[in-house]
Structure 1
Amino acid sequence: MDAFAQWKFHIKSIWEINAGINASYLLLNNTWGIDPRLGIKYFFRARQSVSLAVGLYSKPDHLSTYFIERRQLNGDLKYPNLNLPMLRAFHLVAGYEVKFKDDLRLKIEGYFQSLFKIPVSANRRSVFSTLNASTVFEVIFQNDEDGAQLVSEGTGKNYGIECTLEKFFSRGYYYLLTTSLFDSKFRTLDGQAFHTRYATNYATNLVGGKEWSIGVRKKNAFGLNVRLTLVGGLRTTPILIDESRQAGMTVYDNKRFNTICNTDYHRLDLGISYRINSEKKTHWIRLDIQNLTDHRNVAYRYFDQCTQNTVTQYQNGLIPFVNYRIEF
């Protein structure tokens, strides 16, 4: 349940102030969060502005986390995470924006996020934090040494800089280029600091498209869209080969938790479309090709009992999709 109030002020057409407060309430365990927020933008030239925003944010964890159950020796069911409070975060963002033209702008932002009341393992020897989990199954199985019990005493931080160059759709084409440099860390119950798996150091995305009007009356349209993604490799933990052979399963070297990176991720997607416009209906035919170059990005590594060595699992290669849509 959420409620909010917001105020917006303009002072002499050069100052824009947004102030607000957000209230969140989780009926499941009667936890709540009150989050004040403030944003200020200063237009110091006709097409240029700087901005600063600060605020608190609250959100519940994934509902599956609260409903993890463990059966006690007497047969009763226990929900060790049912009373976890909401995750909290403090955000600070500073930005600069310039509009070169009505359809072209550049935006640069630096940001810092301080995360607290983060669920971490109640076992001080564990390195588990929900900030590092990609699915609820990791909450269930990777944090099983202490009955999957979590305590909201973990912290984390994210910081970085992001640059965006955006050409809005006009004259039949558009593009969007975003590049960011960042880092992401968390702390466990005993105060140890580690990189999260998502501390890939950089990410670049380029999206663009062009549309041509064709046909006798130029009523139909042929479109071409591309998306290029370049991201540093996800972080992972070295595997202990000898210990894995003895245990018959993958054993990680948690003393070097998330200290190595997979190879960089890159993917090129292509979309080709044809739109037929008539008086009463519109036909859309589209071909989407994901991972056009069939590059096999690394998904994860594990210890294989058959080969008695580590094996690399890869993500999907080239995947084509054909879509047809009709609108009346």
Structure 2
Amino acid sequence: KGMDFSKAAHIAMGYEKAFKKGFQIRTEVYYQHLYNIPVTVQASSFSMINQGSGFARFFPDSLKNTGTGTNYGLELTIQKYFDKSFYVLFTASLYDSKYAGSDNIERNTSYNGAYTANMLFGKEFAINAKQVIGIGGKITVAGGKRYGYVDLDRTAAANEIIFKDSLFNERQFNDYFRADLKVSWKLNADKATHEIGLDLVNIFNTKNLLTLAYAPNLANPSAEPIAEKSQLGFLPIFYYRISFKMGKR
């Protein structure tokens, strides 16, 4: 009741340059100031900035618009447009993301991984006038998500992970890494295009950490009750796609 919208002020400066053979480079530096962010009435580390980063069931019942935050960083994009049956896209970002709750202590946001980089590439090989084999992939690396120290007593009482408020986001998951590969065969027929492919998601089966979970061992109460939950491992996906061509009127 009586809450206002969150607000932000932005400033950014960029540079873009095109080169021969379809290459292009873009850079941007930016700064963002966030204010009017909902935080708890009582002094705590809670801020709506971090909502959506986890799976918590509990939500404060009394909020006010006094929270703040800052984001700033440098972004780089290098791109080669699809030319001579080949393309590549590389993006990278170095950044910092901080916030302050109603306790006025500056902390890392849950999303402050400090860096991220992606590379997307693809190559097509023409078998004949109607058949093409394609190979492509994507590689992603990023700094780990922030988290805190578990309050074991409150976690056991709630049967859900609850972090110590004063030490919120003082820790960080290991860096994220994932590599995907795709192989496809395409046939351009007169009335339709047929494509058969295989997507190999997370080909190295990297165990990227997703979250922490409260999982006490009832058979052994003295065992560590905090478990690590990983993201999706290796997943092969076979597909067939048919695209019909519209006839001329």
Task: Name the structure 1 match of 2:149.
Answer: 238
Task: Name the structure 1 match of 2:228.
Answer: 312
Task: Name the structure 1 match of 2:70.
Answer: 157
Which of the residues 204, 207, 218 maps onto 2:120? 207
Q: Structure 1 stretches (4+) deviating beyond 6 angstroms?
A: none
Letter in 2 for 1:312: E
Letter in 1 for 2:17: V
Letter in 2 for 1:122: V
Q: Distance in 2 between matches of 1:181 and 1:220?
A: 42
Which of the residues 22, 25, 48 maps onto 1:130? 48
Query: Is the 8 Å Cα contact of residues 23 and 80 (structure 2) preserved in structure 1?
Result: yes
The answer as to 2:192 corresponding to 1:281 is yes
Task: Name the structure 1 match of 2:105.
Answer: 192
Task: Name the structure 2 match of 1:177.
Answer: 90
Letter in 2 for 1:271: K
How far off its partner does 1:111 sit?
0.7
Query: Is the 8 Å Cα contact of residues 224 and 272 (structure 1) preserved in structure 2?
Result: yes
How far off its partner does 1:269 sit?
0.7
Which of the residues 59, 75, 100 maps onto 2:19? 100
Query: Is the 8 Å Cα contact of residues 245 and 308 (structure 1) preserved in structure 2?
Result: no
Secondary structure, counterpart of 1:197 in structure 2: coil
Deviation track 1:302-324 (CA, whole Å, cap 9, x = no partner) reads 34322343221111101122222
The aligned runs of 1:261-272 (5 Å cut-off) are 261-272=172-183
Letter in 2 for 1:151: K
The answer as to 2:135 corresponding to 1:229 is no
Letter in 2 for 1:319: L
Secondary structure, counterpart of 1:223 in structure 2: strand
Secondary structure, counterpart of 1:131 in structure 2: helix
How far off its partner does 1:135 sit?
6.0
How far off its partner does 1:182 sit?
0.5
Secondary structure, counterpart of 2:136 in structure 1: strand
- With 299-308 and 86-95 compared, the bigger mean Cα shift is at 299-308
Query: Is the 8 Å Cα contact of residues 205 and 229 (structure 1) preserved in structure 2?
Result: yes
Q: Distance in 1 between matches of 2:108 and 2:174?
A: 17
Secondary structure, counterpart of 2:19 in structure 1: strand
Q: Give the number of the structure with larger relative contact order, counting CA–CA contacts within 8 Å between residues 6 or more apart.
A: 2
What's the C-alpha RMSD, in Å, of the aligned pairs?
2.1
Identity percentage over the alignment? 33
- After superposition, the Cα gap between the structure-2 partners of 1:309 and 1:254, relative to the gap in structure 1 and judged at 3 Å, is same
Q: Distance in 2 between matches of 1:109 and 1:163?
A: 7
Q: Distance in 1 between matches of 2:133 and 2:243?
A: 17
Task: Name the structure 1 match of 2:210.
Answer: 299
How far off its partner does 1:242 sit?
6.2
Structure 1, gaps ≥5 residues long: 1-79
How far off its partner does 1:151 sit?
2.4
Letter in 2 for 1:115: L
Query: Is the 8 Å Cα contact of residues 128 and 142 (structure 1) preserved in structure 2?
Result: no
Q: Distance in 1 between matches of 2:91 and 2:100?
A: 29
Task: Name the structure 1 match of 2:220.
Answer: none
Q: Distance in 2 between matches of 1:282 and 1:247?
A: 55
